[in-house]
Structure formats: structure tokens, C-alpha cells
Structure 1
Amino acid sequence: MASSSPPPPTTVVVPVRGNGAFDYATTGGERVGTAGHLVHYVVATEQGTGIDPALFAEAVQRTLGDPRSWIAGGRFSFQRVPWGAASELTVHLATPSTTDTMCTRRGVRTRGEVSCRGGRDVIINLKRWLLGVAWYPSVAEYRDMVVNHEVGHFLGNGHAVCPRPGAPAPVMARQSFGLEGCVANAWPYPDGKTFVTGPPAPR
């Protein structure tokens, strides 16, 4: 009797560019976090990414609502609002080409590979959203990290570096480029109480 072989791995195809237009999530969500400044935000996905804005919105809300996210510090809470409502932050999911265009306008070079934040906009690169990076435990954990990282910039946090080998990486470290000897960590407050950081990154 012939032994069955596992199916071949699924290849993820990442569209390099969309049309530059965005579809916005039309529903809001409950407030996450109970203290601090309430950030109202909207969520959008570029046409051509193949990602439903409602599904991306749910993922962003799940990350920001986790007790290990920025809400653990008590300084910020978040509420997703529908497109058209008053907001101070927009979280975009964009193809690599559009990410480059949007980030360059905001003074950040992403080279088709990474994400950025500029002003009231967070732009998540579709390539990283779909593929993560090789040194991260899973794509799901990478997604938590990149949302927390870029929203962390919006909240006023600069880059940090790994404090020591084997320590959890600060969420504000450039984990998309490597871990510098730290252990992958997607959360500002991994235990729900203690903010993990490191020395400021050189400018």
C-alpha cells in the first residue's frame, strides 16, 4: 500500500501594486481599554490586495484590544469607528508599491519591504502582512508586532534596540530587519503589566 505524502505548501502570491484607492471598513467596534486618551481610528485596505477591509479591521482591533497591547499602560484606549466618523488615526493595508509611495511622502523609505507611520496614518505593507519574516514564530505574531510597532510610533514612541541577548525584543525595535540577539516579542507589555523596552536606537 502506497504511503500518502503531505500536500505541497501553499504559495502566497503578494500583489506588488494595487490601484492606490482604498476601501474602508464601514462598521465600528467596541472601545478597548478603559483609561487614558481614547484614540478613534478607521481601517482601510487598498483595492487589489484581495483583503476584505472588514477582516483587516477585525485583526487590528484584536491586536489593539489584547491586554498585552498599548492599553496595558493605562495611557491610551482605542475605538474603531466607521468610515466618515471623526477619527485621528487611519490604519491602511497597502501593496508594496503603494506603501513605498505613501511612506516616501511622509519621509520614510520602505523599499517595498516594510511598513511605516506618518502623521495620522499607519501604512502596513501587504507583503509583510501576508508573509511575516523568517525569524518570527508565526505570521499571526508578526501581524500583532507590526500593528503595535507602527501604532506605537503614532503614540509618540521612537525606535529602541535589543537590551541584551536573550531578552524579549522591545516592540519598538526594528524586528522586521532582525532581532539583534533578542527573542521575538509582539507586545509592549508581554505580561500585561511591564513595559519592555531598550536603549534608544541611534538616529
Structure 2
Amino acid sequence: MAVGLLGPVAYFLGAQHLPGGGPSDASSGATRPPSAHVSPTPAPAVTPTPTPTPTPTPSRTELDVPPTGSGTFVTAQASGSTVGNGSRPLRYVVQVETGLGLSPSQAASEIAGILGAPRGWTHDPDNAFQLVGAGAAHDLTVKIATPGTADSLCWAGIQQDTGGEYNCEVPGGVVVNLKRWVKGSPTFDGPIHDYRALIINHEMGHYLGHSHVTCGGAGRLAPVMMQQIKGLHGCVANAWPYDENGDFVTGPPA
């Protein structure tokens, strides 16, 4: 068992995303007084035309990462079809520590997309995965937890000191450190979704039996089973087990 890589969550917040609808604005109109010599026909009431307030452009906002959390988890009410051709799909649930403001269903959807990607572990025809929801029979659990809770889970599972920084694979599942899910890594300059793919692919790789390797040569893609957060050693940051030609990206044993 070994400690793996992590990566961050950014949320788009805007009036269109808030329950209850967007902003509104209204102005009042005045009626014209009648002439002294003419019996006026009452002017129709003026219905003021609201002046719309522009919908704010969603801004990229980082989720707060508290050092520790409740230690309790909520399971995503989410499920999906089997991805991959393996004869026995690994059924997994996604859990998020309570009180973080991170949607379990959104996290589960993102993880399902990573595990079903063409360059992911399903490129190996022996592998298959299926996201299942709360209460369903499952083979492993993917937990997203605050650094303190992640440390506790990793120590309890594999006696590994993750130092508030790393993810781990433990008996029965994977522990993702919220700090890495939200903030990524200074060694990885790609989109945050790609870094999350690296987290999931690295730790799921451990679950599938893959061990740590190191850089296969300067300028080459870094293997996902390399601890890229600890340095690239001449390789290029990479989030996927396979390259664009379908070749497995690996290197010498670490």
C-alpha cells in the first residue's frame, strides 16, 4: 500500500445556480394631472417595465479546506452503468465528509467520468467499474475527507503518515484528501479536473494491484503510479494510465 497523489474543487456560483430565482428590479410610474378645461379620459395605468439586472458572470471560487472535520460521511445518492469490459465490475460508492459544502453527487459524477475515460483503467479489458448509490452492495468506497480525517483513516488503514497532504488506498477503498482535491499540486499545472483524475487513477491503480514507479525518461509522460506531487524528475505531468496511442505509461520501480 502506498500514499498517492491528490488534486482541487472549484465551484461556479451565480444567481442562476441559487434556489429561488435570480434578482429583480422594478420602478414606479406617475400619472399625469388632468387639464383644467378638459374632462380627461383617464390615462391607462402605466405598468412600469422592469429594468433587468444583469446575471452575474459565474466566478471560480475555491472551497474552504478546514484542517479537520466531523469524521462522519454522507454517501452520494448516485448510480451509473458499468464502464469497461471486465467480467466482474468493481462496484464503488462515493462518500464526502459532512459539513464541507461539497456535493457528494457532483463528486461521484466526476469520479465516474474519470473511471470511464478512454485513457483510464478501463482501457485494460480486464477492468470494469460501476458507481452505485447509498445502500447498494459495493466492493469499495471512495471517501473525500479533510486533511485531519484523511490522516486518521490512512493511519488506521495502512499505518501510513500522510502528514495532512496526501491520499491513500486502504483496505476497502480509497481516501482522497480534500486539500489535494481542491488545491491540486504545485507540480501539476493542468486543469483541476485533470489533477483529480490523477488522484483517482493513482489510488485506484493501487487498488488494482499496481505499485509505485518513477519517471521513465526525461521528457516522457509521468506514469500515474509515480508520486508526481513529490517531483517529476524530468517527466511531464500526466493524469492518465495510457497515452493517446493506447500504450501503458510506466517506468522503473520506485
By the TM > 0.5 criterion, same fold? yes
Give the conservation status (yes or no) of the 8 Å contact 1:17–1:98. Answer: yes
Residue 82 of structure 1 aligns with an amino acid whose one-letter code is G
- Separation in 1 of the partners of 2:68 and 2:130? 30
Whether the 8 Å contact between 2:219 and 2:236 is mirrored in structure 1 is: yes
Q: Tell me which of 207, 229, 232 is aligned to 1:176.
A: 229
Amino acid at match of 1:138: P
1:131 and 2:183 equivalent? yes
Following TM superposition, by how much is the alpha carbon of 1:10 offset from its aligned partner in structure 2, in angstroms?
A: 5.3
Q: Indicate conservation of the 8 Å contact 1:18/1:95, yes or no.
A: yes
- Report the AA paired with residue 75 of structure 1: D
1:165 and 2:221 matched: no
Residue number in structure 2 paired with 1:3: none
The 1-side partners of 2:116 and 2:234 are apart by 29
1:27 deviation in Å? 2.2
Q: Work out which of the two has the higher radius of gyration on C-alpha atoms and give 1 or 2.
A: 2
Q: % of aligned pairs identical? A: 43
Moved segments of 4+, more than 2 Å: 8-13, 34-37
Task: Provide TM-score, normalisation by structure 1.
Answer: 0.91
- Give 1:119's match in structure 2, choosing from 135, 151, 171: 171
| 2:93 counterpart letter in structure 1 | V
User: Counterparts of 1:1-203 in structure 2 under 5 Å?
Assistant: 12-106=63-157, 107-136=159-188, 137-191=190-244, 193-201=246-254
CA RMSD of aligned residues (A): 1.6
TM-score (norm 2): 0.73
Task: Using CA pairs under 8 Å that are at least 6 residues apart, name the structure with larger relative contact order, 1 or 2.
Answer: 2
| Separation in structure 2 between the aligned mates of residue 156 and residue 145 of structure 1, nearest angstrom | 16
Aligned-partner Cα distance in 2 for 1:183–1:164: 10
Extract unaligned runs of 5+ from structure 1.
1-7
Q: What is the CA–CA distance in structure 1 between the aligned matches of 2:165 and 2:217, rounded to whole Å?
A: 26
Letter in 2 for 1:121: G
In structure 2, C-alpha distance between the alignment counterparts of 1:11 and 1:57, rounded to whole Å: 19
Stretches of structure 2 that go unaligned for 5 or more consecutive residues are 1-58
